[in-house]
Structures are given as structure tokens and as C-alpha cells.
Structure 1
């Protein structure tokens, strides 16, 4: 097939997307496809409108890639693409909205509040509300940024204002949620709509205090344990809830669902990533390897699943 790969982008996750794109392009070539790579930015929309390809593989992360906008553009011009559509992408990106959907369907989430931070003069009252509502420690983060960018773990009241300001630089809405300590795990989900399966659960052991940007993307920043050493019933629950979360948002083809296992051994969902990192050392390919799929096979599988339903 002739496939265009969109990568790079303009979000805070550009660097990661560059290596995701490189990996996908190489894998598609290895599988015999004719590949066009586009380092995408909104100024290049005319290039997308002129594309003459069978399919688009979106290797973007964060804003303009993962939030449904590029999917809407491709839908309008009738170009099939790999992965979730407009609504699922937008919902998954909006942490506050997706959490409402999860908790109303019985998936445990951390208690949280969202705040509109478009006007600086409201920061004082937001700070007061946060102080009255949350016990330390808690997390302040942008509602729609990925890769823990703009995130602050607030351990002392003196950090609240800075946390609001940092998160507000990345988004017009911020999310404050209780901090849940515990084991970090993630579950890749793949398959046709209604027939999705969860791949082996991965435990992430960060070298830093928590799984931040460096832990995610720097070599040796974290250790991945696949499959995670968890008892069978917890493993099954994580897999079931990951598939359910994927389906509740209406995701397609693949996603990766992040959880924290709290001190009571319960999974608390963090978020669904509709375009998880796909560098050859990323979490999703790591898990796929456990069931015998090479990186190239995995990318090919996404293409086949997308061809069969779009």
C-alpha cells in the first residue's frame, strides 16, 4: 500500500513523535509498503489535502495529533487512517471528561476537579478552592497535555500557585487530582471493534520519584517488567478494565491504558492513550513482543485492522 506517516508535530511531545515516526516508517518499509513521511504542522495542511495515498498512519502525539483535529481533517478529505476517530481521540485527550465516563461505568478514578485558567485574575480563587478541597499531596496538571508535561506533584501548600501557573502554560483547563501512590502499570489494547484484546500488563519502575518525562524517554529512565508480577485476578481485572475503557471512549484499532495500583491492590485508571509512543523501545511494542509480535509485525497489524474497518 501507499502510506503517509505523519510525525513530529508542534506539541510538547514533538521529540518523542520524531522517533515514533522514524520507527513506523522503517517498519512499513520493511513490510513492503511505499511510504511518504511528513513532519506535520498546521501550516502543512495543504500538503495533506493533496495527498494521494491509500492510508495515513498518524505518529503524532499530543495536541493537533492525538486530540481529534487531524482525524477530522482526514475524515473530511476521505483519507482512511490508522487508529481512533475524532470523538474517541478528543475524549481520551480530555482527562476530566474521560474520567467522568470511566467512573460512571464502575472503573475507579482518582478524585479530581477541573478549573478554567484562561484568566489570570481567577488564580487566587482557584488556589483557595484547591486548598479547601484537596489534602496534600495532590497533582496539578494540564487537562490535555501528555507525557506528564506541565505536571506538578504538590507536597507543600507553597507549591500550589506555581503548579497552577505551570499547568496553565500548556492548557486553558487544569486538572487537580488526589495523588495516588502505588505501582504504575499500563495495558496495551488491540483489535477490531468489539473484539479487542489486552496484551500483557507492563509494570513501569521509574528511576526517578515518579514516571516523568525523563523516565519515559531517556534510555535507562525506567525499567519495564513484562508481564507485570501481579496475581491472576488483578491481571484479569486490569485487562478487562483496559478493554472496557477503550470501548467506552469508542477507541479503534489500538490504545494503551495507564493505571496505578493503590495500597488496597485496586487499579485506579489514569488515562487512555489513543496514540501511545511507538518507538521500538516503547511500552506497547515491549508488550507485543511478549506474545511473539515483532515491532514490524505490530505496525503491520495496525494497518490490516484499519484496512478492514474503514
Structure 2
């Protein structure tokens, strides 16, 4: 029997998946182009591929050596496409299907974190049907009475700040819920945790996961919504975050604990809030971090003195060797 040998990087063919039909299509394509350019620049044969009904037949007919996800939105992040790739034997960079599913479902992820003793803001999940059947007014008033204002309202899955609202008046809660339901059938209502918004990227290294410098997010006006994320000049980022050394270390440990609790791998981003007092709290995890010109993950990679293309190529190399191990 001939032993399988992992192809060298300069012989490997990599497909970068982006686009699709989710609300995050535009951001996904921007991420995909930057990933493809970064890999190509360091000598990896990478091609950008939109996601449509011809994808699976093409992958079966001409399997790439590895897939890199730039596919934001449900099929790229909820584990479903990863399960299909597992079925047809196409390896990919990133967490496996089960871990991706855990991270995608924000209430489920928060339950895992809470069970592991990792701080996360209190929350309640409200399906659209419950919201209408029980009466919006009384239900939302009870939530506001219990936790006070402001409250964070966001889709129970998804990213890019779509459908996310910071509600400062009880009268604004119904509109925030309706806006949230435009992006999914479940809303996550979360007790607002004031503090410094940070994001910690984590990548796999030869000796285990490596935490990148925390990125501090400071919108120049308003909240960190879709516009603040992707319009240059709308937000100021500080890398590394302006945290005391001891606090920065606690943030790093908390992010790494969340990474392990959720079973993540290869590359992920953990979003946290750092209050004035008390431990950092994990807000959510992202298994397909954005790679646009205003995305947090590449900022952290560069702040660590690394090259995005070299980092991605290293992850592809790990996938190639994992495939034949």
C-alpha cells in the first residue's frame, strides 16, 4: 500500500468560499478577495469561489486540497456546509461542523460558556412566535424591570452587527425586536454590560492555540453597528487594546477558555466586554472572522508582527498534514 503524502504548499490547490445568499454576502466577498490575494501573494494557488448550486458538483469532480471559509452567514458558519464537505471528503480550515454549530447558535454558546464557569451577560431567547403569542408589551416590560436599561437585542445567530440594537428606552424595545426578526426567527435579549469592547483572535500554532493581541473597539459616534464596522473612519481601533497588563492577561485567558469550551480550532475570534470592575465577559464567538480592510482579525495578526498570508498558509499546511495523519 502506498502511503499518502501531503502535497507541498506550492503544489496545493486551495478554494476560498465566499458570497452565497446571506445578508452578509457583500462583506463575505470582500473577505474572500482579501484572503485569496493574501494566499496568492505568498505563493499558494488560491481561487475565489462563490457559493451556488454548482459548488458541490464542482468540488466532487475536482476536489481541492483544502477549503478556506470566507463565507459569512448561516451555511458558512452554522456547520451545515462543513458537514457536507466532511461527507464528500474535502478538508477545510477552521473548526469542525459541531463546534461551528455551537458558536453560531449564540444562546447555545452562552449556555456552554455559563456551564463552564466563563462569565457571559445574562440573557433570554425569544422566538418570534412567543413574542407575538404572549404579547410584546408586558413581556418586554418584565425584562426591562428585571435587568434595567439599556438592553442589547440581537439575532440569535448571525454576525456583522446586522439586526443588533442597543435599547435605551422601554418604548424602543418593540421596534428593536421587529428589526431583529428581520434577520431570523429568534432574538437574544441580553443584559447590557458596560465596559470596553474587545475582540481576541486565536489561531492554531505548532504548540497549540495562540492568542493574538486584543483589539479595542471605539466607535466614533453611536454604537458598533454594521455601518460602524465597515465604513472607514466610523470607528477607531486600538491594537493592542488599552488595558492594564493584568487585565489584558485576564482577557486573554478568558478568550482562550471560551475557545476550548466551545471546541474551536484553527482560527476563531472571541468578542468580550471588559467592565470597570469584575471579570471580562464573553459576548460571542465567530468561526469565520471577517478579513476586510476594517475587520478586527487581520488587525490583530499584523499587530502580532505576523503576515496574514503567511498565517493563512500555515493553517492550510496544517490541514494538508491533518488529512494524511
Give the shorter-chain TM-score range.
over 0.9
Relative to structure 1, is the Cα distance of residues 41 and 221 closer, same or farther in structure 2, using a 3 angstrom cutoff?
farther
Distance 2:55 2:36 in 1: 19
Number of the residue aligned with 1:145:
158
Matches within 5 A, 1:103-114: 103-114=114-125
Number of the residue aligned with 1:65:
76
Distance 1:119 1:100 in 2: 20
Distance 1:83 1:282 in 2: 18
**When the two structures are aligned, how many residues end up with a matched partner?**
309
Number of the residue aligned with 1:308:
321
Q: Is the 8 A contact 1:10 1:64 kept in 2?
A: no
Number of the residue aligned with 1:29:
40
Q: Is the 8 A contact 1:253 1:306 kept in 2?
A: no
Matches within 5 A, 1:71-86: 71-86=82-97
Number of the residue aligned with 1:230:
243
The SS at the match of 1:263 is coil
The SS at the match of 2:255 is helix
Asked if 1:98 corresponds to 2:113, the answer is no
The SS at the match of 2:312 is helix
Q: Deviations over 1:254-310 (max 9, x none)?
A: 101111112315311111111100125421111111222112212212212333334
Distance 2:49 2:84 in 1: 15
Distance 1:214 1:78 in 2: 38
Q: Deviations over 1:157-182 (max 9, x none)?
A: 22122122111121121111112222
Matches within 5 A, 1:179-194: 179-192=192-205
Distance 1:182 1:80 in 2: 39
Distance 2:207 2:139 in 1: 42
Relative to structure 1, is the Cα distance of residues 193 and 71 closer, same or farther in structure 2, using a 3 angstrom cutoff?
farther
Relative to structure 1, is the Cα distance of residues 177 and 194 closer, same or farther in structure 2, using a 3 angstrom cutoff?
farther
Q: What's the RMSD between the two structures over aligned residues?
A: 1.9
Q: Deviations over 1:55-106 (max 9, x none)?
A: 1111111211111111111011000001011111111011101111111212
In structure 1, stretches of 5+ residues that fail to align are none
Asked if 1:125 corresponds to 2:135, the answer is yes
Deviation at 1:39, TM superposition (A): 1.1
Distance 1:130 1:136 in 2: 11
- Residues 60-69 or 278-287, more deviating: 278-287
Distance 1:98 1:159 in 2: 27
Relative to structure 1, is the Cα distance of residues 161 and 193 closer, same or farther in structure 2, using a 3 angstrom cutoff?
farther
